Amino acid sequence: IQKALIMDEVAMNRALTRIAHEIIERNKGIKDVVLVGIQTRGVPLAQRLAKKIQQYEGQEIPVGVLDITLYRDDLSSQPEQPVINGTNIPFDVNGKIVVMVDDVLFTGRTARAAMDALIDLGRPKAIQLAVLIDRGHRELPIRADYVGKNVPTSKSEKVYVYVAEVDGMNKVIIAEP
Ligand code: 5GP
Ligand code: MG
């Protein structure tokens, strides 16, 4: 299999530093801004963004968790659907600017499911999306507000995101599985 390194540890850290600054700039500070990490790797990425934003703004920023995974009913020929497994959002989303954080944006179906879950909890002032990698192939009218790197992929390629908190290393690779 052909593999290509998309981001090393330094590039990943620089992208997160830029996104942290962009979140502050776009929202004219961090008043009412909260972060929500999506399931496995979006969560440590959200925590890293929160840490950087706290350093720059001198103020804590809440981080919640949405657990959404792709699920395929073995008995059906339907493609995988994102399903909500659980949420841990220990703050009020009403009137908040909720920045969803995920590792990879692909069809947009996970982001859509995440928005549904957030809207069930209240009425955010705005919902924004931050992703480390946008690999294209959207199937819904969804775009990210903050992108670490746009990586054109074929549908059969896969982006492998490794984050130290989960995988013991920081890098992004693209490969044909
Ligand atoms: P979507 O719902 O936009 O089709 O896919 C996004 C979700 O699936 C994200 O939560 C992401 O973690 C996962 N995903 C989709 N494609 C890839 C990929 O190529 N690599 C990785 N690491 N995750 C992916
Ligand atoms: Mg995911």
Please report the ipTM that was assigned to this predicted complex: 0.98
Distance from the CA of 59 to the center of ligand 1, in angstroms? Answer: 31
Structure tokens at 36: 């929500």
State the pLDDT at residue 109.
94
Chain segment 28-54, per-residue pLDDT in tens: 999 999 999 999 999 999 999 999 999
Nearest CA residue ID for atom 9, ligand 1: 104
Q: How far apart are the CA of 104 and the centre of ligand 1, in A?
A: 5
DSSP 112-134: HHHHHHHHHH---SEEEEEEEEE
Judge contact between 135 and 159, C-beta under 8 A: yes
Of the listed ranges 77-81, 106-110, 143-147, 151-155, the one predicted with least confidence: 77-81
Reported as half-sphere exposure (CB side, CA atoms, 13 A), residue 116 has a value of 12
- The angle formed by the CA atoms of residues 59, 105 and 69, to the nearest 5 degrees, is 90
Looking from the CA of residue 103, the nearest atom of ligand 1 is 12
What is the tens place of the pLDDT at every residue in 114-139?
A: 999 999 999 999 999 999 999 999 99
pLDDT tens-digit map of 60-105: 999 999 999 888 777 777 778 899 999 999 999 999 999 999 999 9
Tally of CB atoms within 10 A around 171: 18
Q: Which residue has the higher pLDDT, 91 or 1?
A: 91
pLDDT of residue 3: 86
pLDDT tens digits, one per residue of 19-29: 999 999 999 99
Cα distance between residue 143 and residue 58, in whole Å:
30
Q: What is the mean pLDDT of the chain?
A: 95
Q: Which atom of ligand 1 is nearest to the CA of 112?
A: 2
Q: Do residues 158 and 174 lie in contact, with contact meaning Cβ atoms separated by under 8 Å?
A: yes
Buried/exposed 85-109: b ≥16 CB within 10 Å, e otherwise = eebebeeebeebbbbbbbbbbbbbb
Residues having CB within 6 Å of any atom of ligand 1: 38, 82, 102-110, 135, 158-161
